[in-house]
Amino acid sequence: MEQSVGTRPRATPEADHTSKAGEAKEQVQEKTKEGLGQARDKVREQVDQRSTQAGEQVRSTAGDVRTVADELRKQGKDAPARYAEQAADRAERLGGYLHDADGDQILSDVEDYARRNPWAVVAGGVALGFMASRLLKASRGERYRQSTGARSQLASGVSRPEGGNGVGGGMPSSGLEPPVAR
């Protein structure tokens, strides 16, 4: 192909598609960064709001503990009153920190603590996991009791259809039955 002077070479269709794909990729990256920035801002805002609320609640609890300490002193129980007063002081300091610190500061402090005490964080995670498993196990038992109660009520008023499995008056098994202890 011959080129005339002053004209640019025509772009091939492949080059045109490549440049459009590059532009689209840049736009997606910009939107992703913008979305991540907005999400990060919302998380910070939520941490800030929740920590302020928690700080107020902890301060209120500290005041209640101080009242208990005063009552203990009136009853002549100075040692327990001192412990309650110390707990109230610590709770008040924690409440003040939570109330006054912003989300960035709290997240930074948590990260610093985790770096200094990794085993404490691991132990805390294990403890939280254990508590969650106990909570789930307890709620499973409650759901089982509720489902068997509903089944027994239905079974008393419903006759067993042919081919029923004999569990719950012909109601299909829910799979929530606990294992039989042997």
| Rounded-to-integer distance, Cα 29 and Cα 21, Å | 12
Q: What is the pLDDT of residue 164?
A: 47
| CA angle (166 as vertex; 161, 167 as ends), nearest 5 | 115
**How does pLDDT run across 72-98, given as a tens digit for each residue?**
889 888 898 899 899 999 999 988 888
Q: How far is CA 89 from the centre of its chain?
A: 28
Q: Can you say whether residue 25 is alpha, beta or left, with left for phi > 0 and alpha for psi between -120 and 50 degrees?
A: alpha
Q: Are 100 and 55 in contact (CB under 8 A)?
A: yes
The pLDDT value recorded for residue 45 is 83
CA distance 145 to 136: 14
Q: Give 129-182 pLDDT, tens digit per residue.
A: 999 888 888 877 777 677 776 666 666 655 545 444 444 444 555 555 555 555
Tokens of 93: 């300091």
Once rounded to an integer, what is the mean pLDDT over residues 56-70?
A: 89
Q: In the predicted model, is pLDDT for residue 54 greater than 50?
A: yes
Question: Given this model, what pLDDT does residue 134 score?
Answer: 87
Angle in degrees, CA 81, 85, 88, rounded to 5? 140
Question: What's the mean pLDDT when you consider all of the chain?
Answer: 77
**How many percent of the chain have pLDDT more than 70?**
71
pTM: 0.47
Asked whether the predicted pLDDT for residue 126 surpasses 90, the reply is yes
Contact 176, 147 (CB under 8 A): yes
Which tokens belong to 127?
Answer: 């403890």
Question: Which pLDDT value is given to residue 123?
Answer: 92
Higher pLDDT, residue 124 or 24: 124
Domain ranges of the chain: 18-116, 118-156
